[in-house]
Amino acid sequence: MKKLIVAVSLLILVGCNQTPQIQKAAEKTSVSPTTKIEKAFISFRIGVPLWSSEKRYNEVLELFDKYKGVTDEVTFFTSATHPPLPLNVFKERAALLKVRMAEARKHGYTAGINILSTIGHHNENLDNSLSGDFTRMTNIDGLICNGSFCPNDEGMHEYVHTIYQLAANAAPDYIWIDDDVRFGHMPVGLGCFCDNCLSIFEKESGLKFTRESLKKGLNEGPVEEKLRIREAWLQHNRNTISRLFTLIEKTVHEISPAMPLGFMTGDRFYEGYDFDNWAKILSGPNHAPVLWRPGGGYYNDNTNSELVGKSHDIGRQVSVLPPEVVSIQSEIENFPYQRLKKAANIVALEACSHIAAGCTGAAFNVLSFYDEPLDEYESLIARLHEVRPFMDLMAKTLGRTEIVGIQTFWNKNSFATGKPDEGNWVSSGNPLVSHDLYNIGLPTSYSNKNVAVTILGKDNVLVLSKEEITKLLSGGVYMDAEALLQLNKMGFGELTGFEVIGSYNVDRIEKFSSHPLNGEFANCQRDNRQSFWKSTAYSLKPTDAKAHPLSSLIDYSGKEVSACTCGTFENKLGGRICVAGYYPWTFMENKSKSSQMKSVFRWLSKETLPGYIASFHKINLWIRQPENGKIALSFTNSSFDPAKNVTLMLRTESKTIKVYNMSCKETVIQSSGTDGVYKKFVIPEVGVWEIRLVVSE
C-alpha cells in the first residue's frame, strides 16, 4: 500500500507537460475499435434506498423484468448524498452490493458499481460523511468546501485506493467514477488552490505563487502573461486528474486486470478537457474497456431548449474521446426525481437526442431515491421500453462515426481566454459563444477535424498561434464584430476584409441588401429592439474590393445610418469570411434571417455542408460522416408545433432516403429536385418535440 502511494506521489514532481509514466499509459491504447455496435448501451442507475432494502430491490427487478429489454445494465450508487463515505460504511455497502449484483445477474443483467463520491461534490450530510485530517477543496480566496477533498492530498490517495479496492473485490462487471472528479464545488466554486497544490504547480511549471499573488497573476497585467499562467494552471489540473486516475487504474486492475472503468463528465473546460488522455490512462496496460458518461444540467422540462443545449455539451465531450471508447452512455438525470418534473416522452427524446449528438446509449438516473413503491414510475419505464428499439436502431446506424458540419470554435485551452482584460478569471464561466444558429436547421459539428465552417467568438483566438489563426481564416469563418476587432488588432486585417468604424447601443434596425445571398428577402428588416435586449450594433467598412455588404443599419425613421453591418469576403488564401455586427448570435428565428444564414453558410463552406434544412422550421440537425457513399443523420423538431413538409437538402448522389420515427416506422422518400450539389427531400410531417433518423439509400 505504501509503495503504491509513494509511486503515485512521485508523479507530482513533473514539468508542465505530462509525466513520463502518464504519457506511457496514454500511448498504450491506440488501437481502433473492432466492436461493431449492434444496439444501444442502456443502463439504469439505482439509488441506495432502492437497493439497500431487499423488498424494494425486488420490486425494482420485477419492474425491469415486466418491461424486459428496457435496460441491459443495473448500476448501483454507493451513496445517496454527495461527500465521500466513511470507510466502514463503504465496506458494509460493498459487501451488500456483491449480493445485489449477483441477484441482478440471475435476472439477465450485467451489474456494476457507481462510486458517487471519490473526492466529494459539496457540503451535504457532513455529520455522516468522511472526516479527518484531509485537505479540503480550497478556492483562490482560501475558502474551503468541507464535503469535497483535494485530489492531491496523500491521505486522500490512501482513501481512494481503499474504496476502489473494496469496490473491485465486490466483483462488479464494471466500476463508474462519478463527476465529482472535477474542480467546481459548491459553495467555493473552482479549486483547488491549497498550499500543496501551489507547491505542485511550482514544481510542474517553475512558477512560484501564494494564493494572493496567483490571483493577481491570473487577473492582472499583460494579456500574454496572464494567458501563460492560466494555460500552465490548466495543465496542472489535467495532471492532477491524470495522477488520480493512474492510482484508480492500478488499484482496480491489480485485482481485476480486465475490469472496465467508466468516467462521468460534463463540459470540463477548467479541468483542461483532457478526456482522450484520461480514457487511455483508465484503460491501463491491459487495454481494458473504458466507458464514458457525458452529461450536463437538464433536470426538468420547463425549458426544453436546455435539452438541446445539453446535447451540444455532450457532443463536445464525445468529440475528444478515442475511437476505442465504444460504450458512451449519456447521463439522463431527473434529480430530485419527482415524476412530474419531466414528461416520459421528453425523457425518451432526450436519450435519442444525445445519441444523435454522438453517444451510443444512455444511463437513466430517473427513479426514486426514497424507499417507496415505484408505481408512479411505471409509465416512464413503459415509454422507455417502447422507444428502446429506436435507440438501438440509432446506435447501430450511427455508431461512432464523426459528426460533420459547422463548429463553434473551442479547444482544450479555451478556458484560459475568459475575462482576458479584467475581472476574476475563475468566475468567467463557459468560454463558448452561445448562439441560435443550430436551431434553424444548420448541421452541427463539435470537432475541428470535420468542420465545413467555423463560428468564431472574440477571445478564443487568444490561445492560437499566428499559424493556427491563418489556417482558420483560410477556411470558412462566421464571426462577430468583436472578433473582427480582435483579429485586426493582431494583424490579420488583410484576411478579414472589414473594419469596425462605429457602434450604436440603441434604436438600430438591420436592413437586407440586394446581394444574391439574400435572395427574395432583399429590403427585409430585422429589428431586435436594443432597448429591450441589450446588444451593441456595429458599423463595418469594407477594406477590400472583394468585401460585400449583406445588410445596412437604419434608424426608426428609416434613415440609413451605416452602409454595412454584415458582409462577406473571400481572401487571398481562399478563405471565406462573414462578419456580423447586428445581433450575430441571437434572434435568428424569423424567415428572412434564417434563410439568409443558410445561404451564407452554404457560401462559406463552398458548398461542402453535408446538408441542411431549407424549410422554415425550428430543427436541430446532426449529420454523420458519409460512409460508402451513404449518409446517416438525425434531426429533432424542437418546437411545440408540428413540422410539416420539412425540406431536407443533402449533398448526396442517392435519390432515395429512409426516414424512421421513434416507433421505428420506416418511410421511403424520393428526391423531388436539386439545388446545385444538393438533392431535395420533403418529409411530410414531424410531430412536436420528436426526432427522426434518416439514412440515404
Q: What pLDDT was estimated at residue 629?
A: 84
Q: Is the pLDDT of residue 26 over 70?
A: no
113/96 Cα distance (integer angstroms)? 12
* Residue pair 209/202 in contact by the 8 Å Cβ criterion: yes
State the Cα torsion 234-240-244-249 to the nearest 10°: 60
Angle at 241 between CA 239 and CA 244, to 5 degrees: 110
Residue 223 has pLDDT above 70, yes or no: yes
Select from 486, 462, 495, 442 the least CA-distant residue to 621.
442
Over residues 115-139, the pLDDT tens digits come to 999 999 999 999 999 999 999 999 9
- Interacting residues of 127 by C-beta distance below 8 A, sequence separation 6+: none
Backbone angles phi, psi at 503, to 5 degrees: -150, 155
Q: What is the pLDDT of residue 460?
A: 87
Region 187-198 average pLDDT: 97
Q: Can you give the pLDDT at residue 7?
A: 41
Say if residues 391 and 37 touch (Cβ distance below 8 Å). no
The band of 35, judged by pLDDT with boundaries at 50, 70 and 90, is low
Residues 6+ apart with CB under 8 A from 332: 347, 350, 351, 354, 362, 363, 364, 365, 366
Do residues 411 and 453 lie in contact, with contact meaning Cβ atoms separated by under 8 Å? Answer: no
Query: pLDDT band at residue 449, thresholds of 50, 70 and 90?
Result: confident
pLDDT tens sequence across 242-276: 999 999 999 999 999 999 999 999 999 999 999 99
Helix (H, G, I), strand (E, B) or coil at 547: coil
Domains of the chain (ranges, CATH numbers): 35-189+258-402 (3.20.20.70), 426-600 (3.40.50), 613-696 (2.60.40.1180)
Burial of 80 (0-12, 13-18, 19+ CB in 10 A): middle
Number of residues that make up the chain: 697
Contact 84, 159 (CB under 8 A): yes
Q: Where are the beta strands (DSSP E) in 53-183?
A: 73-77, 110-115, 136-138, 144-149, 175-177
Specify which residues 580 forms β-bridges with: 480, 566
Beta strand pairing call for 73-77 and 41-46: parallel
- Candidates 84, 87, 82, 89; CA nearest to 52 is 89
For strand 576-580 and strand 548-554, is the pairing parallel, antiparallel, or unpaired? unpaired
Element (H, E) at 60: helix 54-66
C-alpha separations of 654 from 403, 585, 602, 657 in Å: 19, 34, 20, 7
Distance of CA 206 to the CA centre of its chain: 32
Which is it for strands 476-480 and 451-456: parallel, antiparallel or unpaired? parallel
Neighbouring CB atoms inside 10 A of 38's CB total 9
Give the pLDDT confidence score for residue 38 in this predicted structure. Answer: 96
Mean predicted confidence (pLDDT) in 571-587: 98
CA distances (Å), origin 659, targets 404, 635, 669, 683: 20, 11, 8, 8
If you average pLDDT over residues 467-486, what whole number do you get?
A: 97
Torsion angle of the four alpha carbons 61, 63, 69, 72, in this order, in degrees rounded to the nearest 10:
-30
**What is the C-alpha to C-alpha distance for residues 267 and 245, in angstroms, rounded to an integer?**
18
What's the pLDDT score for residue 36?
86
Convert the pLDDT of each residue in 280-332 to its tens digit: 999 999 999 999 999 999 999 999 999 999 999 999 999 999 999 999 999 99
Q: What is the mean pLDDT of residues 389-403?
A: 97
User: pLDDT confidence of 440, banded at 50, 70, 90?
Assistant: very high
In this model, does residue 71 exceed pLDDT 80? yes
Residue 613: pLDDT above 50?
yes
The strand pair at 403-408 and 619-624 is best described as antiparallel
Kindly report, residue by residue over 78-103, the tens digit of the pLDDT: 999 999 999 999 999 999 999 999 99
pTM of the predicted protein model: 0.94
640-684 pLDDT per residue, tens: 999 999 999 999 999 999 999 999 999 999 999 999 999 999 999
Mean confidence (pLDDT) of the chain: 94
Q: What would the 3-class secondary structure string for 233-287 be?
A: HHHHHHHHHHHHHHHHHHHHHHHCCCCCEEEEECCCCCCCCCHHHHHHHHHCCCC
- Between 628 and 38, the higher pLDDT residue: 38
Tell me the H-state helices in 407-557.
Answer: 466-473, 481-489, 493-496
CB 175 within 8 A of CB 168: yes
Instruction: Identify which of 136, 184, 138, 140 has the alpha carbon closest to the alpha carbon of residue 424.
Output: 140
Burial code of 368-394, b = ≥16 C-beta within 10 A, e = fewer? bbeeeebeebeebbebbbebbbbbbbb
Q: Report the C-alpha gap between 552 and 695 in whole angstroms.
A: 41
pLDDT for 628 equals 84
Is the predicted pLDDT of residue 15 greater than 60, yes or no?
no
User: In which band, very low, low, confident or very high, does the pLDDT at 635 lie, cut at 50, 70 and 90?
Assistant: very high
Q: How confident is the model at residue 627 (pLDDT cuts 50, 70, 90)?
A: confident
Rg (CA), the chain: 26
- Whether 425 shows a pLDDT value over 90: the answer reads yes
Residue 12's pLDDT band (cuts 50, 70, 90) = very low
pLDDT value at position 121?
95
